[in-house]
Amino acid sequence: MAFKALWITEDSNGKISREIKKREIADLPDGDVLIRVHYSGLNFKDALSASGNKGITRKYPHTPGIDAAGIVEQTNNAEFPVGAEVFVSGYDLGMNTSGGFAQYVRVPAPWIINKPANLSFKDVMTIGTAGFTAAVALRKMELLGQVPAAGPLVITGSTGGVGSFAVLLAASAGYQTIAITGKTNANEYLHSLGATTIESRSFVDDKSGKALIRPQWAGGIETIGGNILQTLLKGCKPEGTIACTGLVASNLLEGTVFPFILNGVNLVGVGSAEMPIGKKKEIWNQLANNKILLGNLSAIATEVSLDELNEVYIEKMLQGEIMGRIVVNTQL
């Protein structure tokens, strides 16, 4: 049986091309469960995979999409019978396993989570890896003692997927937030998510050469890397935590040890894809019960088809132009 999928190919000169193509279910990788995908969501990693980044996807042709939600159609696993409403987020989906930018995926059962009954497929994919990652970041910070009374959290790439959920989750947990954005038209959006103040990227791009700068935030959720990550560490109040989640501008970690040894600042890593499934389920359960979060999903989501994803939104994400989450209705 044929189905529609985004298809990335590489020619003998290394040139990457993409198209929407009919694929055969028989060509999907082996796995326990065949899922008819209803929705997926666009993450930065997907945009890299779709443009030939070998750090994400080693071999082409390939279908990206690290998130997928839908209905089980074939199964050898009693936990996920035919008709079960499920989703997959992370592990190898969309990296070197055919991913969610398609009408079908076939995956190992240990990657699958039952969809919370109160969420639609679209809700789950609006949250997706991005919302989950922001939740993990805040949780890790709080395990190290981060509290709203200590002062504001700074959030970089704040109109992006991780950033939008970081602002929303932090605000819903009672934090003041400083949302950093390169966009000049994002104030209304960011305030609607709960941002307290909005600053341009230069606010967190210190070029003074100093090892420490005036502390202006009590912690941060960082998606950009390089000098911006370094600035967040230099300007963090004593005992605060900076959660490193991304590398949109740079994968470099630079700087001195002074934020750590003079101010007791913590740097924590967030890697959501490979987190053990039990822990993932626990955090998804918290997200599914966060009423403030659920009330804001429609403001964050832009629903698109596979064709629009291919023609417009992958490129927009690579250019840093996305606001919120691009949610892909694979059945359109």
Ligand X SMILES: NC(=O)c1ccc[n+]([C@@H]2O[C@H](COP(=O)([O-])OP(=O)(O)OC[C@H]3O[C@@H](n4cnc5c(N)ncnc54)[C@H](OP(=O)(O)O)[C@@H]3O)[C@@H](O)[C@H]2O)c1
Interface with ligand X, residue 223, by CB under 6 A: yes
Contact call for residue 273 and ligand X (CB under 6 A)? yes
Q: Which of 35, 86, 162, 301 binds ligand X (CB under 6 A)?
A: 162
- The least CB distance from residue 90 to ligand X, in Å, is 8
- Tokens found for residue 168: 């929303």
For 122, other C-beta atoms within 10 Å of its C-beta total 19
Q: Per CB under 6 A, which region of 6-14, 21-29, 106-114, 269-277 contacts ligand X?
A: 269-277
- Helix, strand, coil % over all residues of the chain, rounded to 5: 35, 30, 40
DSSP letters, 130-191, are: HHHHHHHHHHHHHHTT--GGG-PEEESSTTSHHHHHHHHHHHHTT--EEEEES-SS-HHHHH
- The smaller minimum CB distance to ligand X, of residues 84 and 327, is found at 327
229 binds ligand X (CB under 6 A): no
Q: Does 141 bind ligand X (CB under 6 A)?
A: no
Peptide bond into 61 cis (omega under 30): yes
Based on CB atoms, which residue is closest to ligand X, 174 or 271?
Answer: 271
Min CB(134)–ligand X separation in Å: 9
Please report which helix (H) or strand (E) contains residue 325, including its range: strand 325-329
Closest CA to 200 of 214, 212, 213, 183: 183
CA atoms in the 13 A half-sphere facing the CB of 47: 20
Side-chain-facing half-sphere of 174: CA atoms under 13 Å: 6
Task: Out of 159, 231, 266, 296, point to the residue binding ligand X (CB under 6 A).
Answer: 159
Considering only 317, 327, 329, 330, the residue that binds ligand X (CB under 6 A) is 317
Angle formed at CA 91 by CA 88 and CA 95, multiple of 5 degrees = 100
Region binding ligand X by CB under 6 A among candidate stretches 30-38, 41-49, 106-114, 140-148:
41-49
Q: Which stretch binds ligand X (CB under 6 A): 70-78, 247-255, 279-287, 297-305?
A: 247-255
Q: By CB under 6 A, is residue 6 in contact with ligand X?
A: no
Count, residues near ligand X per rule CB under 6 A: 31
Footprint on this chain of ligand X (rule: CB under 6 A)? 43-45, 129-130, 133, 157-163, 181-183, 201, 223-224, 245-249, 270-273, 317, 320, 322
